[in-house]
Amino acid sequence: MYVNYLHELKQHLHFDQLAIPKPVLEHDKKLVAIAKNPKLTSSSSFHANLPSFETQQFRVPIS
């Protein structure tokens, strides 16, 4: 299974039982906001708009 955002993970796990660090939650919120509004992109979020594939992890092929 591969998910791009934490809200996708909630569909498969008891998310409220996970200890997810606050910086991770904040980063996920930023990624979701960028995905909803591509005009918010900047050089620091360049990779957030690249398509991801099931055969990639961190934009690197795993096959």
| Residue 6 near residue 15, CB atoms below 8 Å | yes
Residue range 19-63, pLDDT digits in tens: 999 999 999 999 999 888 866 555 555 555 565 566 666 666 666
CA 36 to chain centre: 12
SS (H, E, C) 27-59: HHHHHHHHHHCHHHCCHHHHHHHCCCCCCEECC
Does this model's pTM top 0.75? My answer is: no
| Residue 61 near residue 55, CB atoms below 8 Å | yes
